[in-house]
Structure 1
Amino acid sequence: MSGYFDELTARLREAGVPASRIAVTVDDLRAYLADSGGDPEEEFGPAAAFAEQLAATAGQAAGEAASGERWTWTADIFTDQQRLNEFGEQGWEVQGIDRLGRFVCTRSEEHPQCWEYRREVVPPADRDALTERLAPDGWEPCGTWFFYAYYKRPKAALVGPEAEIASPPPQPGRRIFFSPALYGFVVVAFAAAVALGLLSLGMLDRVDDDDPIASTLFGMLVGAISAILVMGAIGGAAVLVGRRRRRR
């Protein structure tokens, strides 16, 4: 696999693609293969031909960015969909999500239009099926982050020419949008971690210090419980927020 990506990197560099974009592209492709378990040549075709395709796409994206505005921002799971639709009404179109989980957006200077967004919680193996199910309604994927899948569609598909924005507002001055719910979640998670740590210390006193196996197993158990609690809380929060928004 490394040989394929070495050749792909070399071809992209020869085509004049910026090194930063090459690094992001290769990292994304590696992550995709890690999820799918596929072979790079079977998934993407020969490295030389795939590099030409990627270079052409990069050139087109660079042209679009040059003729319009570009803005990168982030939000937590409690407010991201709300913010996406808020900024979509201002003409911001999500082109993807970078490695830091930030939304990479562009906005046309000549003909800005409104965009609509939705977020789904879905395992990587089920994303293709979900995308096919949403496609007839005009939704197209615009980025993924762990088990979150984001979709966009132009509002013109629903309201026609009224979706075009005559005077879009200035680009927001902020890039980070965290909600009070996130800070509350952090406080609760920290309190739970402290409580679990104190409970673990109390139980550790009962473990035989001369039995290293028992101590190791106990440590592994505490670590597993902590991980399950944290991941369960994050996943549960995402599901609850998503359901509440769909009911609105």
Structure 2
Amino acid sequence: MSYLADLAELLREHGLPADRVEATVADLGSHLEESDGADPEAEFGPVEEFARELAPTGMQGPAAPEAHVETWRWTADTYVDEELLNRFGDEGWEVERVDALGRFVSHRDLERPQRWEYRRELVTRGREGLDERLAPDGWEACGNWIVYAWFKRPVAASLGPGAEISAPPGMPGRVRYFSRKFCVLTGVMVAVLVAAGLVVAVDDGDAGSGFGFAGGILAGALVPFAGVWSWQVWRSRR
């Protein structure tokens, strides 16, 4: 795929290590496959802009080894995201935002990494006044996704110099963190959908009607999700 090949070349030019380039491109390729071959430019935007966004701040080419900031994008389900945010925040990872794909865009200063803590809020009825209520305690908004908003604050606000990390661990080796509960719930939903299709097929005596029924339910469920996702994409590119 030329888009991913061009992206890999641009990331190398920006000074990203070869193993990071390979892992990033492989992850994006998997995402495109899971999206039924979606157009990469429509999914991620122009390749030059996307490469600049993925490359750590300060990496401009051969001088990259002097860069002291590293970036990492990862995602997790809502059963474990807050726990993981605080675990990784304790390792110095600061979330800048949540991108259109629902990933936490994070960075860490390798020279003077600081600990961060996080909290998640439900914003189904909007977030009027939420930022103002949390601000006095040092919380700052760092991302939104569908009905959730995430906030961060530096641990230094309470610990002072003790919040600095002397020897931060390496970058985590994964970019997706899905809990067992989430996987079981997803499996149950798929099983219920298949069972509903079989019941319809048996009642009608036509397997095609069962597949049509199940497909209709799935398509109907995806319509609102697709609408929210499109809004997130549009909002993230404003």
TM-score range, shorter-chain basis? Answer: 0.5 to 0.7
Q: TM-score, normalised by structure 2?
A: 0.58
Query: Following the alignment from structure 2 to structure 1, what is the Cα–Cα distance between the partners of residues 161 and 91?
Result: 15
SS in 1 for 2:183: helix
Partner of 1:195: 195
Preserved contact between residue 57 and residue 69 of structure 2 (Cα < 8 Å): no
Partner of 1:71: 72
Query: Following the alignment from structure 2 to structure 1, what is the Cα–Cα distance between the partners of residues 93 and 123?
Result: 24
Deviation by residue 1:86-118 (Cα, 9 ceiling, x = unmatched) = 000000000111222111111012211100011
Structure 1 runs not aligned, ≥5 long: 1-17, 25-57, 206-214, 232-248
- Match for 1:76: what amino acid? D
Query: Following the alignment from structure 2 to structure 1, what is the Cα–Cα distance between the partners of residues 82 and 204?
Result: 43
Partner of 2:57: 62
Matches within 5 A, 1:79-118: 79-118=80-119
Shift of 1:162: 1.1
Shift of 1:21: 7.8
Structure 2 runs not aligned, ≥5 long: 1-44, 61-66, 226-238
SS in 2 for 1:85: helix
Shift of 1:204: 5.8
Query: Following the alignment from structure 1 to structure 2, what is the Cα–Cα distance between the partners of residues 146 and 100?
Result: 11
Partner of 1:38: none
In structure 2, do the counterparts of structure 1 residues 138 and 21 end up closer, same or farther at CA, with 3 Å as the change threshold?
A: farther
Which structure is larger by alpha-carbon Rg, 1 or 2? 1
Deviation by residue 1:155-210 (Cα, 9 ceiling, x = unmatched) = 111222211111111111222212111211111111221233234446667xxxxx
Partner of 1:162: 162
Query: Following the alignment from structure 1 to structure 2, what is the Cα–Cα distance between the partners of residues 68 and 22?
Result: 19
Shift of 1:81: 1.0
In structure 2, do the counterparts of structure 1 residues 64 and 163 end up closer, same or farther at CA, with 3 Å as the change threshold?
A: farther
In structure 2, do the counterparts of structure 1 residues 204 and 137 end up closer, same or farther at CA, with 3 Å as the change threshold?
A: farther
Query: Following the alignment from structure 1 to structure 2, what is the Cα–Cα distance between the partners of residues 95 and 76?
Result: 18
- Match for 1:114: what amino acid? R
In structure 2, do the counterparts of structure 1 residues 168 and 23 end up closer, same or farther at CA, with 3 Å as the change threshold?
A: closer
In structure 2, do the counterparts of structure 1 residues 109 and 22 end up closer, same or farther at CA, with 3 Å as the change threshold?
A: same
Shift of 1:64: 9.2
Shift of 1:19: 4.7
The number of aligned residues is 166
Q: Higher helix proportion, which one? A: 1
Shift of 1:119: 1.2
Among all aligned residue pairs of Structure 1 and Structure 2, give the percentage whose two residues are the same amino acid: 46
User: Is 1:152 paired with 2:147?
Assistant: no
Partner of 1:121: 122
In structure 2, do the counterparts of structure 1 residues 64 and 156 end up closer, same or farther at CA, with 3 Å as the change threshold?
A: farther
Matches within 5 A, 1:157-236: 157-201=157-201, 223=217, 227=221
Shift of 1:22: 5.6
Q: TM-score, normalised by structure 1?
A: 0.56
